[in-house]
Each structure stands twice: as structure tokens, then as C-alpha cells.
Amino acid sequence: MKKPCSSLPLAMLLVSTLVASLSAQEDPTQEQTEAAAPAEIGPSGQPIAFPHDVHAGEYEIDCQYCHFSVERSMRAGIPPVATCIGCHAFVAGSQNPEEITRLREYADRQEAIPWNRIYKVADHVQFPHMRHIAAGVECSNCHGNVQEIEVIQQVNQPLSMGWCLGCHIESGASRDCTVCHY
Ligand code: HEC
Ligand code: HEC
Ligand code: HEC
Ligand code: HEC
Ligand code: HEC
């Protein structure tokens, strides 16, 4: 995979896509992930084979550029198609151009990509991302080294009460039943 000859083209893309995505991200609570239509699944298990290693690893795009609400809300947030198109209106894709074609088709139809959830706690459990980020817990503690993962899979299975409590005991965080169940 080729790198750009300097970081300037990517920096310009970042600016243009930021403008495009700001308007699309006004409502971070909007359920971008849970579209009504059943997902059309490729071999990656996702409607589009989105490579984290290329974006977060090779091109060093910050996690929060896409997972925009992780610092301030319960949910990390999944980027809207407009965030992708900010770059992929120009970046065609040299390895899997058909994936970019499908991405552009979602954008043309103004349709949210029906991503399948990978990490999900039971309905009776509350997981606040913002409290963990504020306490300095790294994404990698719970999601593994995403910069090197091509297709996201759960690395800490299952998301059991024992797993949560193990770290809470170690780090002196609350063990009160009602902080996680209410
Ligand atoms: C800041 C710019 C940027 C953003 C935002 C971005 N991408 Fe990319 N993406 C790239 C670059 C650069 C590549 C590498 C292209 C290449 O190697 O030809 C890439 C590669 C890809 C590839 C692999 C294509 C290939 O041929 O290797 C897919 C699929 C993809 N992106 C999907 C997405 C999706 C979906 C989103 C939104 C969630 C997104 N991208 C957001 C810059 C971006
Ligand atoms: C260019 C946008 C982009 C960047 C940068 C990015 N992600 Fe993602 N992320 C996505 C998209 C789109 C999905 C949904 C598709 C999937 O699961 O692969 C996703 C999914 C995830 C998931 C799984 C969500 C679920 O369904 O449970 C985790 C965990 C995650 N990202 C963590 C990270 C971390 C950590 C970083 C930084 C190291 C990062 N991401 C950087 C776009 C991005
Ligand atoms: C202490 C563990 C922990 C840390 C740290 C953490 N996550 Fe998560 N993440 C989870 C759990 C648990 C879920 C499932 C939450 C649910 O079902 O409500 C999740 C879900 C997600 C999702 C999917 C749905 C959503 O919008 O919340 C994304 C994307 C994600 N995390 C990204 C990140 C990123 C990016 C970081 C770092 C900036 C991060 N996470 C830090 C444990 C963690
Ligand atoms: C890797 C360590 C780690 C893991 C794993 C972890 N947590 Fe935490 N959690 C923390 C830390 C550190 C804090 C912050 C404590 C503080 O703010 O004083 C915290 C805070 C919280 C809070 C807020 C507590 C309060 O006092 O209001 C809740 C709720 C919570 N976590 C739920 C969960 C759940 C549910 C899981 C499992 C799905 C989980 N955590 C997994 C480290 C972790
Ligand atoms: C740090 C977060 C956290 C705390 C504190 C916590 N739990 Fe849980 N609890 C969980 C998670 C996550 C699950 C879901 C486990 C799963 O789906 O496998 C769970 C599941 C449960 C279940 C359902 C078991 C099952 O088989 O699904 C019960 C009952 C429960 N907890 C009771 C309690 C009680 C009582 C306390 C206080 C002594 C407590 N929990 C404290 C995170 C927590």
C-alpha cells in the first residue's frame, strides 16, 4: 500500500472532511448504527470491509476523529457516511476499489451504513465511555491494539461482570451494584 509523498494531501483531506462531518455530527445520540434494513454482509462480516489498520495505523487518523462522542457520552459513536466521503470522494482505494464504490453508493442513496455491532453489553448494564476516558483508561485496555487490527473482533470475551469488576477492584473504581445496574 502506497503512502502519500508528503503528509500535506492527507492534511487537506482532513480539513475538508472535518467540514463535511461537522454538519453531519450535530446529533451524536442519533443511532447511526442501527439502521432498519438488514445488513448485506461481505466476507468481513460488515457491509463494507473497513480496515482499522489502514486508517488508525498507517494513516494515523485519531480514534476520536471518527468515534467523536467517546469523551463526552456513554457511547463512542460511529461516524456517519459524510465523514468517510470527506476523504473517499477523492481517495478511490488501490487495494479494494469495489469497497469504495459501495461506500459511495451508500452516500448517493443518503443511507446510513448498517454496521454490525461487535462490542455490546447486556441490556441491564450501563457502560459510560466518558468516565473511563476521563480516568485515563486507554481504548487498547478494552479493545486491543486497534491500529493493527484489520477487521475488528472482540478481544476481551465475554464482556462479563467479572471482567468489569476485576479492573474496578484493581483501579479502585466503584463496585456499587447501582453504578452499573439501574
Ligand atoms: C482522513 C481520510 C479518510 C477518512 C475520513 C476515511 N478514509 Fe478510508 N481510506 C483513506 C485512505 C488514505 C485509504 C488508503 C487508500 C489506498 O491505499 O488506496 C483508505 C482506505 C479505505 C478502504 C480500503 C480501500 C482499499 O482499496 O484499500 C476502505 C474500505 C475505506 N477506506 C473505507 C472507509 C470508510 C467506510 C470510512 C468512514 C467510516 C473511511 N474510509 C474514512 C482515507 C480515509
Ligand atoms: C476513519 C474512521 C475511524 C477511525 C479513525 C477509527 N475507527 Fe473505529 N470504527 C469505525 C467504523 C466505521 C466502525 C464500524 C465498523 C467496524 O466495526 O469495523 C468502527 C468500529 C470500531 C469498534 C467496534 C464497534 C462495535 O461495533 O462494537 C471499535 C472498538 C473501534 N472502532 C475502536 C477504534 C479505535 C480504538 C480507534 C483508534 C485506534 C478507531 N476505532 C479509529 C471508524 C473508525
Ligand atoms: C473500560 C473499557 C473500555 C474502554 C477504555 C473503551 N471502550 Fe469502547 N466499548 C467498551 C464496551 C464495554 C462497549 C460496549 C458498550 C455497550 O454495549 O453499551 C464498547 C463499545 C464501543 C463502540 C461501539 C458502540 C459505541 O458507539 O459505543 C465503539 C465504537 C468503541 N467502544 C470505541 C472506543 C474507543 C475509540 C475508545 C477509546 C477512545 C474506547 N472505546 C474505550 C469498553 C471500552
Ligand atoms: C480496564 C479497567 C476497567 C474496565 C475493564 C472497566 N472499567 Fe469501569 N471504570 C474504570 C475506571 C478507572 C473508572 C473511573 C473511576 C473514577 O472515575 O473514579 C470506571 C468507572 C466506571 C463507572 C462509573 C462509576 C461511578 O463511580 O459512577 C461505571 C458505571 C463503569 N465504570 C462501568 C463499567 C462496566 C459496566 C464495565 C464492563 C463492561 C467496566 N466499567 C469495565 C475502569 C474499568
Ligand atoms: C462494574 C460494573 C458492574 C458492577 C459494579 C456490578 N455488575 Fe452485575 N453485571 C455487570 C455486567 C457487565 C453483567 C453482564 C454479564 C453478562 O452478560 O455476561 C452483569 C450481570 C449481572 C447479573 C445477571 C447475571 C446474568 O447471568 O446475566 C446480575 C444478577 C448482577 N449483575 C448483579 C449484580 C449485583 C448484585 C451487583 C453488586 C454486588 C453487581 N451486579 C455489580 C456489571 C456489573
Task: Evaluate: CB of 161 within 6 angstroms of ligand 5.
Answer: yes
pLDDT for 9 equals: 44
Domain ranges of the chain: 8-31+40-108, 129-180
Read off the pLDDT of each residue in 38-57 and give the average, rounded to a whole number: 82
- Ligand 3 pocket, residues with Cβ under 6 angstroms: 63, 67, 70, 75-78, 119-121, 127, 129, 132-133, 137, 139, 141-143, 159
Residue 11 has pLDDT above 70, yes or no: no
Which stretches of 25-73 are DSSP H helices? 52, 63-66
The beta-carbon contacts of 176-180 under 8 Å, at least 24 apart in sequence, are: 179/126, 180/125, 180/126, 180/127
Look at ligand 4, atom 33, and give the residue with the nearest C-alpha.
127
177 C-alpha to center of ligand 4: Å?
12
pTM of this prediction? 0.90
Q: Let me know: does 80 contact 23? Beta carbons within 8 Å.
A: no
Q: What tens digit of pLDDT does each residue of 168-181 get?
A: 999 999 999 999 99
